[in-house]
Each structure stands twice: as structure tokens, then as C-alpha cells.
Structure 1
Amino acid sequence: DHYRKNKRNIPTETFHDAEEESEVSAMKDAAEFILPMINLLPEDYAAPLRMSDVDGTKLKDIATALNLGLSAVKQRVSRGRKMLRDIFTECCLMELDDQGRLVSFEVRPDCGALQRYKAFLETTE
């Protein structure tokens, strides 16, 4: 009881703040590359995915705009997401914490298309 009563309390706010800043920074870094990665996909998958996930267009409206059936749009968005996930895995080094949150993000040196885009971003800053 004596040891529990006199236990030191270490303020954890500073640790949480540092973790959150790291997470936010990594998310911003990753977000910069989402649209360029979508643009690497074949247009049949890139257009519906961009309209759905970037622009927030409803699937029904995408189907009308692209003159496709609703099931075709759903399938293309789903396949596009999988392709995008594969590109992320292939072209990016990501570190996740225990809860699965992104803590660090970096473009792999051997991913030419994204390295060129990264260099372009650095010249415009």
C-alpha cells in the first residue's frame, strides 16, 4: 500500500502530444501522394475512385456521369482501392503504431513515379 500510495505520476500529455504531432505529420505526408497514386491507376479505375473518394460523388451519380451501371461503378471503385493499396505497399515505407495509426511515411527510393512527384513538390515549396 505504501508503494502504491507514493507512486510517482508522470505526466503523459507530453508523450501524447508528440505522438499526435508525428501521426498528423505522417498523415499529411501520405495525403500529398494519394491523388498522384490514383493517377497512376488505369483511367477505368482512377476516374470512379477519384470521383468517389476524393470528390465525394455518390456512386449512383458516378454511374450516370460515366454511363456505367451501378454495379460496374462499385466494382471499379473497389478494384481501384485495392490497386491503390497495392501501390502504397509497393512504393511507400509506412510505420504503424500498436493501434494501426500511421506514425511515419516515406516514398521508397525505387519508386520512380512518386520520387519524381516528390522532387516536383520540393521545388515548388
Structure 2
Amino acid sequence: MHPLTLAISLHFSLEPLWHDTGLPLAIMGMFIVFVALVLVSTFISKLPHIMALLDKYLPQAEQLLIPPKPRGEEIPDEVIAVIAAAVSEALGKPHRIIHTRELTSREMAWPQQGRWEIHASHKPHN
């Protein structure tokens, strides 16, 4: 029997790095990405000025919202009694209502987002 010989020939060269698919292509790709990032960040920083110009030349249409209630309008005693009963039932001990006010649309953003996420998480049954 002849002993098995294994010959491995390795040739290492940096030449492929300088051809079409090497280092120049990688540098060009990074350049394009950085230019795009600069353009996006510039647009975002100038967006308030752009919106101010748009508001000047294209004013918003009249909004059809329900007018807010006057500040002096109070909640009826019956409604406060129902709120106190609901709080007492939910917490298991009596509570006294000291102050009531309606929530603004800004304060309602989180509850609305939560309801939207709950509704979006359910898939309708066919």
C-alpha cells in the first residue's frame, strides 16, 4: 500500500479587493448610506420651518369639533354619586370624591392608544 499524501495549495492575494466587487463598492455603499442619513436628518430638522410655511399658504380647514363645555359647568350630584359608588365597589372600601374634571384630548391619547392596540390584536372570525 502506498501512503496517502494530501497536498494543499493556498494562494492568498489582496487583488480581489480592488476589483468591481471589492473595497470600492463597499466604500460607495457606505457613502450612499451616509448621504441618505444626512438628507433625512436635514429634512427632519427643517420640518418645523416647512410646516410653518405650509400653514401660512395653506391654512387648515375649519375643524368640525364639538365645542368644549364652559369651565364653570359642574357635574351633577347624581353623576358624582354614581362615580363614588363605582370607585367604592372597585376598591372595596368607601371613598370620597374631592375633585372632578373632564379629561382633555391630550390626556385621552394613552387610553385611546391602548384600546386601539387591544382591538388590533384580535383577528376577526370569518
Please, what TM-score do these two structures have when normalized by structure 2? 0.26
Structure of higher CA gyration radius: 2
More strand by share: 1
More helix by share: 1
Q: Which structure ranks higher in relative contact order (CA pairs < 8 Å, sequence separation ≥ 6)?
A: 1
